[in-house]
Structures are given as structure tokens and as C-alpha cells.
Structure 1
Amino acid sequence: MPEVIFPGPDGRLEGRYHPQKAKDAPLALILHPHPQFGGTMNNKVVYNLHYAFHRLGFAVLRFNFRGVGRSQGEFDQGIGELSDAAAALDYLQVLNPNARQSWVAGFSFGAWIGMQLLMRRPEISGFVSVAPPANMYDFSFLAPCPSSGLVINGEADRVAPPSDVLKLVDKLKTQRGIEITHDVIPGAGHFFDKQLEEMTGKVERYVQSRTAVEDAS
């Protein structure tokens, strides 16, 4: 898969881009966990999400936030990272001007950034939020949440406790015009060590069902 370097708001950003032959292929941007706790675009969850979307026919980009790997800049408490994500989506859209859909998927810290990007970019039609850290970050900006999506987390997650994720999901489900699907993986911790394949399979089935309906309409 080709390595790419593209311009970000605070210098160059390093990514991995996996295109499709179809010119109208949908797009997926994948966002990694917290940079200060070892999060990179090569995290196993991020890597598996990347290939899950590509198997479904998406042109996919994952990248390192500022200060990670070969990406320039320094950690910016989420503010700069949101700008990085917007720049990455811009880059992906320039490469695929005829894309019929755009999705964002994020894991942990990346889920928080992804949901904020969702609010800024009305062209994003779907999202996957894996283990959103609702206990650490304020998600009240999702008012209203503009798109339907999947929230998936582990039953034994001690980093992002299931009770906090459930409160977030319940709040989102009260909003009209969207549908939030919530899936809990039994026995799984924050990194889905033994349940990675199960988690990825659930994501694939959800995205496949959504895109099939939207392509048919």
C-alpha cells in the first residue's frame, strides 16, 4: 500500500492510502488513538478498520496525527488533530473527486476527533466510533448528531467504561432523523486483543448494510 505525504495545517502529514479502481468509490478516513499513549496509524484496530473498509470497496486513508511518526508538528490537545483530520479528508477528496459517499472511523481518541469532524463536514454520511472515551472527553457537541453510525465497544473496557459509552449512545438515540447502532463485544477490553476479528466483522457487516441501502436509493 503506497505511503503518502500530504500537507497539513502544521506541516507534512504521513499516511497510508489504498485506492480503488472505481472512480466513484466511497471514501473512508481512519483515525488513530491518543498520540501521547502510543497511538499511531499502525495500531491494530486502526489497521484492521482500514482493510475492512477497503474490502468493502472504499478508497481508504489512515494517517499519523501531528508529531507522530514522520508527521510534523506537536500534540495539540485535540484542536490541531481535528485540523489534521480535516486536511486528510480534503486530501482524500482531491484524489477522489467523484466519490459517492464519505465515511469517518476512529478508535478511542480518534473516535472523539472523528465525531467532531462529522459535525464540521456535512458530506460525511456515516461513521464508526470504536471505544469512544466518553468518560474522558466531552461529546456534547453532538447536538444534533448529523449522521447515522455505529458505536462499538468492549464489555470489559477499563479505559472507556461501557457505562459511559452507553450514556453517550442513549443521548444520541434521542435525536430524530438518524439511527445509532450500538454493539458491545463480550469480554473485550479496550484494544480488542482476542476479539479483533469479531469486532472487525461487525463493522464490516454494518457498513455493508448501510452502503447497500444508500446505493440502492
Structure 2
Amino acid sequence: MNAQTRRLLVDGPVGPIEVAIDAPAGPPRGLALVAHPHPLFGGTLDNKVAQTLARAWLQLGFVAVRPNFRGVGGTAGSFDHGVGETDDLLAVLDHFTLQIAPQAGLEVHDLPLALAGFSFGAAVAARGAQALQQRGVALQHLTLVGTAVTRFDVPSIKPANAAPLAQRLLVLHGEQDDVVPLPAVLDWARPQQLPVVVFPGAGHFFHGLLLPLRDWVCHWHGAVS
């Protein structure tokens, strides 16, 4: 993403996981994991929307960590329909907080935690948030962009009669998304009484609108941190 981006391999359930790490210049204000879109359709940690989400969290002072999912780049394994990818996301979180951060002198163990994802990655981030809640781990921020509700089983992030999966929730979608139609996302959000921020004129990949996307994430999460 920039000259300061570090790439390394961490241990995962089925072998090494390639990750890219961007750290703020000063003491970190939190840790954000960003999940990329569908691996079988060219999704990698270098996807522009995933990079935009990482830049937003970096601008907010968080350490931003982007893993490559199974079978992508230097990550072992093969596509696992979001199941193994969720396991890998949690493995990266555990490895980072227990090993990488202490070695780099980063104190992140007790700092706010954010998950973010785009398309397939949004589904994985939601699943990861659900798994963290089951672990009893507090998640402060969850950001889902272009959530692939028509292609994968995305859990409710604001379930009825239960605590939301994160303290602060942000769902963004393009008005003219031709991969995951907006009405499908509204159908998913409606039973949860979950607001959806709609970008007028935006397609699935937010072409020409990445800066406004970054700014909205920064504004929302910066205003409520």
C-alpha cells in the first residue's frame, strides 16, 4: 500500500498466511483487520477497496492488517467458501496480538479492535465478528462494504434479543451494485433494523468513489470512537 507496508507470513490452520501490515507513525489507537473480496474472482489483499479500508483505519491511528485468503499469494490452502477463511482471519488476529505486536513493540492487546471487509470479505468479517462474540472477545468496530449476502451465509450483525456483534456497526453499499443488488442487502438488513449507507451511483467496486468511501469510514468511526 505504501513504502512502510510490511509483508510477512504467519502460521495458520493449514499453513502460512501472507499478511500486509501498516502501522501509524505514533502509538496505535487500535487494531483493524481487513478482509479482501472473492479469491476465485481475483480478490487479493491488494484489492483497491480493501486498500481503501486499510487506509481509513490507518488514518484513524489503527494498525491495519490485511491477510491473503487461502490459495492467494503466499497463503497456503485452497478456497473454502468462507469457512476456512474465517478461521484464518481469527488465526491472524491471535498471531498478531500474541507474537507480532510484542516483537515490534506495539501495545495493541487492550486497544479497540475493528474488523472490515469488502464483498466476500465482508461476509468473512461478519462471520469473524460472530466467532469473536462466541469467544467473549469485545469488538468495537465492524465495517461491511458491498456485503455478499446473495452468495454467502452472512450472519445477522444486530440479532434480535441479543447484543450486536460489535459496538459500532457500519454497512455501506453501492446504489448500482450489479454483483450484489442493493435490494438484497436491504432485505438482509431489514429484519435487523440495521441502517445501510447507500452511495448514489456507486457500483460494486466503487470506481471513482474510493476517496469518499475512505472519508465516510473515517468520519463515522472517528466520530464515534
Cα distance in structure 2, aligned partners of 1:164 and 1:153: 11
Cα distance in structure 2, aligned partners of 1:79 and 1:91: 19
CA RMSD of aligned residues (A): 1.6
User: Residue 64 of structure 2: SS of its match in structure 1?
Assistant: strand
TM-score by length of 2: 0.85
The aligned residue for residue 126 of structure 1 is 141
Q: Please, which moves more after superposition, 74-83 or 134-143?
A: 134-143
* Amino acid in the other structure paired with 1:12: P
1:166 paired with 2:186, answer yes
The aligned residue for residue 220 of structure 2 is 206
Q: How does 1:8-157 map to 2 (within 5 A)?
A: 8-20=12-24, 25-94=29-98, 95=101, 96-121=107-132, 122-140=137-155, 142=157, 143=159, 144=162, 145-147=164-166, 148-157=168-177
Identity of aligned residues (%): 33
Q: Please, which moves more after superposition, 160-169 or 133-142?
A: 133-142
Q: Please, which moves more after superposition, 31-40 or 130-139?
A: 130-139
User: Residue 77 of structure 2: SS of its match in structure 1?
Assistant: coil
User: Residue 11 of structure 2: SS of its match in structure 1?
Assistant: strand
In structure 1, stretches of 5+ residues that fail to align are 174-179, 212-217
Cα distance in structure 2, aligned partners of 1:98 and 1:71: 25
In structure 2, stretches of 5+ residues that fail to align are 102-106
The aligned residue for residue 188 of structure 1 is 202
Aligned residue pairs total: 205
TM-score by length of 1: 0.88
* Amino acid in the other structure paired with 1:146: L
Cα distance in structure 1, aligned partners of 2:139 and 2:40: 27
Cα distance in structure 1, aligned partners of 2:12 and 2:191: 33
Cα distance in structure 1, aligned partners of 2:7 and 2:36: 16
